[in-house]
Chain A
Amino acid sequence: MIPSAFDYVKATTVDEAVAALVAAGEDAKVLGGGQSLLPVLRLRLNNPSTIVDISTVAEIRTITDEGTSLLIGAGVTTDEVANNPLVKAHAPLLSMTAETVADRAIRHRGTFGGSCAHADPAGDLPTAAAALDCEFVIAGPGGRRTVSAADFFVDFFTTAVGADEVLVAVRVPKMDGYGAHYEKFNRTAQAWAIVGVAAAVKVEGGVITDARVALTNMGPKPIRATSVEAALKGQPATADAIKAAASSAADGTKPTSDVHADAEFRSHLARVLTGRAVATAAGV
C-alpha cells in the first residue's frame, strides 16, 4: 500500500486543471475526493505520472437550480448529494442512492462526479444517474461539451471523459411526481453492491405511467432495464403486475461471477430486487 512516485499539480480552476492535464499527457489522473483513486495508487493498480488535484476547485462544488433540472458540480460530496434539500426534493432517487454509499466518512470525502468518472460497475451513483437520464458536462482544451448518460458510461472503469478532460458537472432532470427507490444488495454495511437496482416510477390513478429502472453490477457499466420499463408502462401498480414485469430484469445483462455471487445468482437477484425496488418506488 505504497504508491509509486508522481508529480502533483493542485488546480484552483477548471481551466488550470485542463491545462495541467494537457501538459501531463496520457498518463495523468484527476484527484477529486480520492476515495477511489487513492486505493488504486496504494495498491499500484495504476501508476500515473501526474496527479491533478481538483478537490478545492470552487466552481465545481455547487448545486444550481436550473428550472427543469439541477446542475450538480462534480466536486459536490456524496454526503451533500444525500442531504441537499434541492436534491431531496427533485431527485430523491439520487439522494437515496447517495445515502447507501460506503460509510459516513467516505461520503464526506468522496464526490458524485468522482464516482461517475471512476465508473466502477459496482458503483451506486452511476446507476442512479443512468436511471435519471442525467447529462454530463465535460471540460477539455476545446471547451465544454455535454454527453448523455447513455454515452457517458462506456465500459469497465471507462467513460467518455478523455485523458485531457475533466468532468465538471452532472445535470439531473427534475423528476417531480415520481416515486423513487434504490435497492442495494450487499453482504456487509460498507461493502460494494453485489447487485443494485435504481427505480423511479410515476403512478397516476393507480396506473404506472412511466418507469425508469437501472441496474448496478449487472455488466461492465450501469444498465437500463428497458424491457422492464416497457412492461411496466400502463400496468396497474400492483405487486403481481410489478413482479411479472420484473421477471425480465436480467434480460440482456452480462453480470460477472466473483466470490460473492456467480452470474446466475446475480441474474436471480436482479429479478427479485427489481421487483422490490419498483414496488417500493410505486408505493405498493
Chain B
Amino acid sequence: MTDTLNETMGAIGRPIRRKEDARLVTGNTNWTDNIQLPGTLHMAFLRSSIAHAKITRIDTSAAKAAEGVVHVYTGADFPGQPGSTCVWPVTDDIVMSHYPVICEDEVKYVGDVVAVVIATEKYLATDALDLIDVDYEVLPAIVDMEAALAEGSPLVHSDKGTNRCYTAPVPFGGSYADVKAKADVVVSRRFINQRLIPTTMEPRAVVAAPMGMADEITLWTATQVPHVLRVLLALLTGIPENNLRVVAPDVGGGFGGKLQIYREEVLAVLLARKLGRPIKWTETRSESILTMHHGRDQIQDIEIAATSHGQILGMSVNLLADMGAYLQIITPGTPLLGMFMYSGIYKMEALDFTCTGVYTNKTPTDAYRGAGRPEATFAVERIVDELAAELGMDPMELRMKNWIKHEEFPYTTVEGLTYDTGNYEAATARALELFGMDELRAEQAVRRATGDPVQLGIGISTFTEMCGLAPSRTLGALKYVAGGWEHCTIRALPTGKIELVTGTSPHGQGHATAWSQIASDIIGVPVEDIEVIYGDTGRSPYGMDTYGSRSLAVGGQAIKVAGERLVEKARMIAAHQLEVSPEDIEFNAGTYSVKGDPEKATTIQAIAFAAFQAHNLPDGVEPTLSGEATVDPMDFSYPHGTHLAAMEVDTETGKVTLRKYVAVDDCGVQVNPMIVEGQVHGGLAQGIGQAMYEGAEYDSNGNLLTASMGDYLIPSAADLPSFITDRTVTPSTTHPLGTKGIGEAGAIASTPAIVNGVVDAIRHLGVNNVLMPTSPQNVYRALKAANNGGAA
C-alpha cells in the first residue's frame, strides 16, 4: 500500500510506512540480549526435570568450585521470597499459591527452578549446572484437571487441602433452567481449548545493574509491562519503587507471554543489588517453551437451548481452567476475561457461567493473545454451528436470525455489557462477496456426491470481542487490583520538535508511527517531527503498558487529550502575541490565526520557541509548552467481523488444508490501515495455529512432550494461503477517535472458523467435533470413531 490518499486529509487514516521498520529490519536494534555492561555476571538455572518432587538434598559444592563460578544459590538463600505474584484474586475464597523465587523444598512442574549459578561467562554458568547434585523424592504428578478435582487426589499444594483454586459461578440474565425447559432443541458439546505456548520470536531476557545514583537498580527486560513490573518488583523485593527503573528496550513479540512478573526478573534484581554487579540472562528456546507462561487450557462444557425455528434462548457454560502449578500475574482471571463473551453477537435471555480453576503440576498459565476471549468465541461459534446442524439450518442463516441488528445498537447483552456500535450485516455481506460462498457450496456438494477422498468444508466465525482494558471501576468490581487508565505527555521542544511520551509499550505493533499520526492531526506538526518515547519508567513514568488491545483503545484517548491541552496552552500564548483574545484565535493544521484576518498568524513551532524563551508570555502562563493527560476509558472496545474459511480434508490421511480465508474486520476508524492489516495477518496466523497446528502435550508424569519446535508446531508463511482481507468501518461512540482495538481480533476470530470448516467437511460422515489442533491424527481418530458408530 502507498500513501495515495487525498492530500487534504490528515495523518489519521493513511497507510504510511512504519517509521520504526527501517531500523528494525536493518538490525539497528536494541534487544535486551544486545546490552553489554562491563563486569557482567551471567545467570544459569537448574530446572526440575521432575513434575512433582520433594527436594531432599542439594549439593552445590562442586559447582561452586567450578571455573568462573562466582556463587550458586538455592532456595535456602531466599527463604519465603516470592518470584511472582497474582494481582487478580477472582473470588473471596480463592486458594492462592506461593511461587518461590527458587524452590525451597518441593518442585511443582518440569522447569521449576532448583538453583541458580552465577558465573563470569554464560557458557561456564551452564557448564556448572551439571555439577549440582540434587536428590528428589518423587511425588505423584497431577496432570489431568478432572482427576485433580476427584476425591482423594494427590495435591499440588499439600498445605491447601485441595487442587481447586476457585469456582466462580455467575448467572447472567434470567434463569437458564427456565429457558431450557421451554426450548425445543438443546445441544451440548465438550470442547477442549488446548494449552498453547506463546513462542515469541525474541525469548525472555534480562539485564539488571546498579546504575546511576544511590541505590538505583535498572532492569532491562523483554517485557510488555515495564510500569506494572516496577510496582510489583518493589512490592516483592522491598526495594523502594523510586530506586527501581525498568526499561523495555526493543521487544520482539509478547502475545501475553511477556505480560508477567517472572522469577528470573526478580532474581536478577535481587542479585544485582546483592553482588553490586550487572546480572544477565537470556533464555534458551528450550527454557522458553517450558517456562514462559502458557495460555488457554480449558475444558469447556457448553450447552445451547433454542426453539425449533432457530431462536437462541440461552446457554450454559461450565469451564475447567488449568492454572498450572502456581498463580502468576492474572492466571485465575484469564478465563474470566472471557465470561462476558460467551453470548458473542447473539441475543439470548439467559446465560449460566461457571468456571473452576484447577491446580496441576504443569507450567503456570496466564494471558495469551485474546486471554479468555478466544476460548469464549471458539465455544459460542462452534456451538452455534452444532445447533444449526441439529436444526438442519444453514449456519449463516441461524446467525443472522439471532445476531444484534445494526439498528439495535447500543445493545446491552445478556452478560450486561453495552456494545456501543456494530454492523454485523455489513461485515458479513462483504465477506460473503469476497468468499464466493455459492460456488464453494456447489463444489462441496459435488465432492460429497462423488465420494471424493478430499472433502470441502466451509467455516464461519461471526465474532465480536471486548478489548481496550479497561475502565478502572469495572476492573475494581472484578477484584483486579489495578486500574485501566493510560497516560500521555506531549512536549513541544524549543526547536518545534515534539516528544510524545506514552505509557503504552510496543513489542512489534507500530506505536511510534500510529501515535505520531494521531498527534500530528491534533497539534498540527508533521509525523516525522514527532518522536515517541516509551518503555522506560525513567522516561515515561506513568503507564499501564500494552496488552488486551488497549494501546490505541485507551492510550489513543490520552494522546488526544494531551494534544488538545497543549494546543489550548499554545492558543493563550498565540492570542497574547497576536494581541487578540483567545476566543478570536483559530487553530488549523499547526497555525494559529486571527479570525477574519488570516494574515495575522503564527505557528505552533514559533509558540514552542516563545514558550521556551518566556520573554513575552501572558500573565499567569508558565514557560514551556506541553500537554499531559491520564485518561480512564468510558467503556471497553467492541470490534467485530466476519471470517470465512474454506477447508479441505483428506479423508484418507486426515490432512487438513486451508484453501481460502476471508477476514472482514470492523475496528471502527483506522489510524493506519497498513498497521491494522499487519495486526490482522499476525492474529490470523496465531488463531489458525491453535486450530491446526499448536498444542502443548504432557505425559501422565507431567513431562512436556512438545518441548521443542520440532514437536510444538507453529505455522510459517509457507503453510498459510494469502489472506483476503477487508474492513468495514463502524466508528466507536465511546472512543473520541472512533477507533476500536484490533490486536487480538484475528487470533480470536480465526480458530472457530477453521474448526467449523473442518467439521463441516466431514459432518456427513458422522463427525460433529474434531479436537484441536485439527492434526491428521485427530481428524483420523474423529473419522474412525464416526465410522465405528459414535461421534468423537
Q: Give residues in A with beta carbon < 8 Å to B.
A: 1-2, 4-5, 43, 103, 185, 187-192, 194, 258-262, 265, 268-269, 272-273
Give the CA-CA distance A2 to B203 in the complex, in Å: 15
Give the CA-CA distance A188 to B781 in the complex, in Å: 20
Give the CA-CA distance A190 to B713 in the complex, in Å: 9
Write the nearest CB–CB distance from B437 to chain A, whole angstroms.
28
Give the CA-CA distance A272 to B714 in the complex, in Å: 26
Write the nearest CB–CB distance from A238 to chain B, whole angstroms.
17
* Residue pair A261, B777 in contact (C-beta under 8 Å): yes
Partner of B286, one of A5, A43, A268: A43
A5 — which chain B residues lie within 8 A by C-beta?
A: 123, 127
* Residue pair A190, B123 in contact (C-beta under 8 Å): no
Give the CA-CA distance A265 to B779 in the complex, in Å: 11
Give the CA-CA distance A265 to B714 in the complex, in Å: 22
Give the CA-CA distance A194 to B706 in the complex, in Å: 15
B22 — which chain A residues lie within 8 A by C-beta?
A: none
Write the nearest CB–CB distance from B777 to chain A, whole angstroms.
5
* Residue pair B284, A185 in contact (C-beta under 8 Å): no
* Residue pair B776, A188 in contact (C-beta under 8 Å): no
Give the CA-CA distance A188 to B713 in the complex, in Å: 7
Write the nearest CB–CB distance from A258 to chain B, whole angstroms.
7
* Residue pair A262, B777 in contact (C-beta under 8 Å): yes
Write the nearest CB–CB distance from A257 to chain B, whole angstroms.
10
Partner of B123, one of A2, A43, A194: A2
* Residue pair A259, B127 in contact (C-beta under 8 Å): no
Q: Which listed segment binds A: B57-65, B539-547, B618-626, B715-723?
A: B715-723
Give the CA-CA distance A260 to B712 in the complex, in Å: 10
Give the CA-CA distance A151 to B22 in the complex, in Å: 55
A1 — which chain B residues lie within 8 A by C-beta?
A: 284-286
Write the nearest CB–CB distance from B214 to chain A, whole angstroms.
35
B763 — which chain A residues lie within 8 A by C-beta?
A: none
Instruction: Tell me whether A4 and B719 are in contact in the complex, defined as CB-CB below 8 angstroms, given that A187-B776, A262-B777 are known contacts.
Output: no
B284 — which chain A residues lie within 8 A by C-beta?
A: 1-2
* Residue pair B716, A188 in contact (C-beta under 8 Å): yes
Residue in B711, B777, B781 with the greatest tally of chain A CB atoms within 10 Å: B777
Interface string of B761-790 (1 = CB under 8 A from A): 000000000000001110011000000000
Partner of B776, one of A2, A192, A261: A261
Partner of B126, one of A2, A192, A260, A269: A2
Interface size class, chain B: 20 to 34
B653 — which chain A residues lie within 8 A by C-beta?
A: 185, 269, 272-273
Partner of B127, one of A4, A43, A188, A262: A4
For residue B482, CB closer than 8 A to chain A, the reply is no
Instruction: Tell me whether A265 and B127 are in contact in the complex, defined as CB-CB below 8 angstroms, given that A191-B710, A259-B697, A259-B706 are known contacts.
Output: no
Give the CA-CA distance A189 to B719 in the complex, in Å: 6
Write the nearest CB–CB distance from A37 to chain B, whole angstroms.
15
For residue B122, CB closer than 8 A to chain A, the reply is yes
* Residue pair A265, B776 in contact (C-beta under 8 Å): yes
Q: A260-B775, A260-B776 are in contact. List 6 more A-B contacts (CB 8 A).
A: A2-B123, A5-B123, A188-B693, A188-B719, A189-B719, A259-B706
B781 — which chain A residues lie within 8 A by C-beta?
A: 265
Chain B residues 704 to 744 lying within 8 A of chain A, measured CB to CB, are: 705-706, 708, 710-711, 713-716, 718-719
A260 — which chain B residues lie within 8 A by C-beta?
A: 711, 775-777
Write the nearest CB–CB distance from A96 to chain B, whole angstroms.
18
List the A residue with the shortest CB-CB distance to B711. A259
4 closest A-B pairs by CB: A189-B718, A1-B284, A2-B126, A272-B652
A189 — which chain B residues lie within 8 A by C-beta?
A: 716, 718-719
Give the CA-CA distance A1 to B285 in the complex, in Å: 7
Partner of A258, one of B654, B711, B716: B711
A194 — which chain B residues lie within 8 A by C-beta?
A: 776
List the A residue with the shortest CB-CB distance to B453. A272
For residue B447, CB closer than 8 A to chain A, the reply is no
For residue B497, CB closer than 8 A to chain A, the reply is no
B54 — which chain A residues lie within 8 A by C-beta?
A: none
Give the CA-CA distance A80 to B653 in the complex, in Å: 31
- 7 residue pairs bridging A and B, Cβ less than 8 Å apart: A4-B123, A43-B708, A185-B776, A187-B775, A188-B719, A189-B718, A269-B776
List the A residue with the shortest CB-CB distance to B655. A185
Give the CA-CA distance A262 to B126 in the complex, in Å: 35
List the A residue with the shortest CB-CB distance to B283. A1
A259 — which chain B residues lie within 8 A by C-beta?
A: 697, 705-706, 711
Residue in A4, A259, A262, A272 with the greatest tally of chain B CB atoms within 10 Å: A259
Interface string of B196-222 (1 = CB under 8 A from A): 000000000000000000000000000
Give the CA-CA distance A269 to B716 in the complex, in Å: 24
Give the CA-CA distance A258 to B705 in the complex, in Å: 9
Chain B residues 95 to 153 lying within 8 A of chain A, measured CB to CB, are: 122-123, 126-127
A187 — which chain B residues lie within 8 A by C-beta?
A: 693, 713, 775-776
A261 — which chain B residues lie within 8 A by C-beta?
A: 776-777
Give the CA-CA distance A272 to B783 in the complex, in Å: 15
* Residue pair A188, B715 in contact (C-beta under 8 Å): yes
Write the nearest CB–CB distance from B614 to chain A, whole angstroms.
57
A192 — which chain B residues lie within 8 A by C-beta?
A: 710
